[in-house]
Copies of this chain bind each other. A is one copy, B any other.
Amino acid sequence: MSGRKAQAARNDELILKAARAVFTADPGAPIAAVAERAGVGISALYRRYSSKEDLLRKLCFDGLQLYIAVSEKALEDQGDPWEAFAGYMRGIVDADSSSLTIKLAGTFQPTPELGAAAVRASELATRVHARAVEAGVLRPDVTTADIALLFEQMASVKLGDDERTGQLRHRYLALLLDALRRPASHAALPGPAPEDAELSARWVP
């Protein structure tokens, strides 16, 4: 495959990647920002998606699929129950699925297909959580819904570039995992703490 077809296929990927980056950074970003980031014209977007809503639905659906994949992998993990659960949490944080699902919800009309994926994702989350509770590695007063909100808190962390943001999210996830684990413990925190300069830089954009 080469020539024009190849560029079209490459653009498919470029556009999705750009859309993910732009809309996770700012759910209200304009379509033009996606095109610019992807390095294509606006018409390249409208050839693939009939509207902005359509693109957002696609992103949300992909985000749910990713969530589902991570959850299924966690359920297959037959190793140490705590490590399986912690790995699941880290996987979801890395997938940034909260930014791709809940943060975008409300900006478009959900389709049945999308609703079904959301239900499936929710079921899997319940099972992963239940397994950890039954294994006795998780404090029992935290519910599945709590976990969902905690993911959103991790997703709210944004500082510097994507790499730094991911680093910090894992730092605070480690803190969170200490609070969730039974018995209580204090694991070492990964990644350097934020510098004062990193924080104060946000006052003057």
Chain A residues in the interface with B (C-beta under 8 A)? 102, 105-106, 110, 115, 118, 122, 139, 141-143, 145-146, 148-150, 152-154, 156-157, 159, 168, 171-172, 175-176, 178-180, 182, 184-186, 188-189, 193-196, 198-200, 202-205
Contact = CB atoms under 8 A, between A and B. Distances in A.
What secondary structure prevails in chain A residues at the interface with B?
A: helix
Closest 7 CB pairs of A and B: A156-B156, A179-B179, A184-B184, A143-B193, A145-B194, A106-B205, A178-B179
Contacts of A195: 145
A129 to B, nearest CB: 12
Given A175-B179, A179-B179, A198 B145 contact: yes
A149 B118 contact: no
Contact of A199 (B145, B182, B185, B198): B145
Contacts of A154: 153
Contacts of A110: 203-204
Nearest to A103: B202
A101 to B, nearest CB: 9
A193 B146 contact: yes
Contact of A145 (B179, B185, B193): B193
A142 B184 contact: no
Contacts of A180: 175
Given A145-B198, A148-B199, A178-B178, 12 more contacts: A102-B202, A105-B205, A110-B204, A122-B196, A145-B199, A146-B172, A146-B193, A146-B194, A148-B194, A152-B157, A153-B154, A184-B184
